[in-house]
Amino acid sequence: MPVALQLLVGAASCAAFVIFARRLGAERELRLYALGLVTAALVYVGFVARGASLAWLALELAGLALFSLAAFAGLRISHWILAAAWAAHAAWDVLLHGRPGAAFVPGWYPAVCAAFDLPLAAYVAARSARGGSS
């Protein structure tokens, strides 16, 4: 899949996710973004089953713990943390999984995921700036 299409799929998926989440009401919307962050990290743990080493499993589980903690803190402390965590997840996608050593991750996935993560990070940050932050 061409990179431009990967980016388009990620951004369109993000837009659909935000449209759906906004219909849930302000508090549930943010909970869904936090749950989505945990799910995004969990997907990589699932990819380990495609033949990655135990070292990769340990790294992905550490990422899952880190992003889960950030999701919780993003709900309890400040929604800015949630926005920053989504941006950090985009870096996790590209810098860690967008290289040859991460062959257990489908080649198209890091770009699609980053193109989802960054607009969502921007949206959560903008929402927080408008007064939606705790």
Distance (Å, whole) CA 71 – CA 47:
21
Alpha carbon of residue 112 to chain centroid: 11
Q: Which residue has the higher pLDDT, 27 or 9?
A: 9
Helix locations, the chain, DSSP H? 3-22, 26-47, 54-76, 79-91, 97, 109-127
* pLDDT tens-digit series, residues 76-100: 999 999 999 999 999 999 999 988 8
Residue 127 has pLDDT above 90, yes or no: yes
Q: What residue segments make up the domains of the chain, in order of their start?
A: 3-132
For tokens 């943390």, name the residue: 81
Average pLDDT for the chain? 94
Contact 12, 38 (CB under 8 A): no
Q: Measuring CA to CA, which residue among 74, 82, 88 is closest to residue 118? A: 88
3-state secondary structure of 98: coil
Q: Which residue has the higher pLDDT, 61 or 131?
A: 61
Q: With bands split at pLDDT 50, 70 and 90, how would you rate the model's confidence at 47?
A: very high
Contact 77, 126 (CB under 8 A): no
Instruction: Indicate yes or no: pTM above 0.75.
Output: yes
* pLDDT tens-digit series, residues 99-116: 888 999 999 999 999 999
Q: What pLDDT is attached to residue 85?
A: 98
